[in-house]
Amino acid sequence: MFGKPNSPVRPLYSPLTPVILDALAKKGVEASMNAEKPPVAHNVDLEEIAKFEAVASRWWDTEGEFKPLHRINPLRLGYIAERAGGLFGKKVLDVGCGGGILSESMAREGANVTGLDMGAEPLAVARLHALESGVELNYVQQTVEEHAAQNAGAYDVVTCMEMLEHVPDPRSVVQACAQLVKPGGHVFFSTLNRNAKSWLMAVVGAEYVLRMVPKGTHDAKKFIRPSELLGWVDETPLEERHIIGLHYNPLTNRFKLAPSVDVNYMLHTQAKKPS
């Protein structure tokens, strides 16, 4: 259904990787203690950042806490590449990039990728893995609102995957993404629907029963209904192009794309062209 990547992402990982990354993170923390701290941006949840920084050294462990992200990444990449008409030669921004799983895979498709995140440790992991992998891309520690103020209309494609439910003001993120994309460019969002089924599947099932992700990863109150996300999109120059669900079958242990958006879903939007 979707075009396959030219080359699979083959993460570099060994038992020594967490030790190396933890040591680098400690050095970074020690250096930052003597540096002047920048003001905390308004749309940042420090508790959310801390959760992901605590496990950042294991971001590229395909059997660790981020195993689900590694498993769904080919689906995300295929959907984005097909809906955007390919990624080769395009300028792409990955908002909330974390350790760089999606960012690297888009760079391998020939895109000029910038990964954006507010977590220092995940970005350190992302930079090191890109260096080890020989993948060229850029990582920036900055909020999307700050980046939009400096780079309006700079990108052909903007991705914001599994990030909206981790910030205090997701509407602001949607608006910033709309500012960053060129007229006719593409913006992709993915998040979790807010209902009883998604709570059972994403919180009870994934965190407590199957233990696919660490307990406390998600707060069901922060999940976002498609109608809410589409309402924010309608306030911008973006237009809805396609929406699809991302499903996990515990019996087959497989993920797939399907029409139902009851739990996880992805939204493709496109910026209006001048008339």
**CA dist., res. 106 & res. 94, Å (int):** 9
Are residues 224 and 233 in contact, defined by beta-carbon separation less than 8 angstroms?
no
Q: Which pLDDT tens digit goes with each residue over 146-175? A: 999 999 999 999 999 999 999 999 999 999
Nearest to 172 by CA among 267, 180, 84: 180
The pLDDT > 90 percentage for the chain reads 66
What DSSP designation does 85 have?
T
15-24, 60-69, 202-211, 240-249: least confidently modelled range: 15-24
Largest CA distance in the chain: 56
Q: Which pLDDT tens digit goes with each residue over 14-31? A: 444 444 455 544 444 344
Domains of the chain with bracketed CATH:
17-271 (3.40.50.150)
Backbone angles phi, psi at 214, to 5 degrees: -60, 150
Residues tagged in the binding site annotation for S-adenosyl-L-methionine: 76, 96, 117, 161
Backbone angles phi, psi at 245, to 5 degrees: -95, 155
Q: Which pLDDT tens digit goes with each residue over 219-269? A: 889 999 999 999 999 999 999 999 999 998 888 989 999 999 999 999 999
What's this model's pTM, rounded to 2 decimal places?
A: 0.83
Is 141 in a helix, a strand, or coil? strand
Is 140 in a helix, a strand, or coil? strand
Identify which has the larger pLDDT, 216 or 222: 222
**CA dist., res. 128 & res. 24, Å (int):** 10
The neighbouring-strand residues paired with 91 are 112
- pLDDT band at residue 47, thresholds of 50, 70 and 90? confident
Tell me which H or E stretch contains 32.
Answer: helix 17-33
pLDDT score for 38: 41
Is 157 in a helix, a strand, or coil? strand
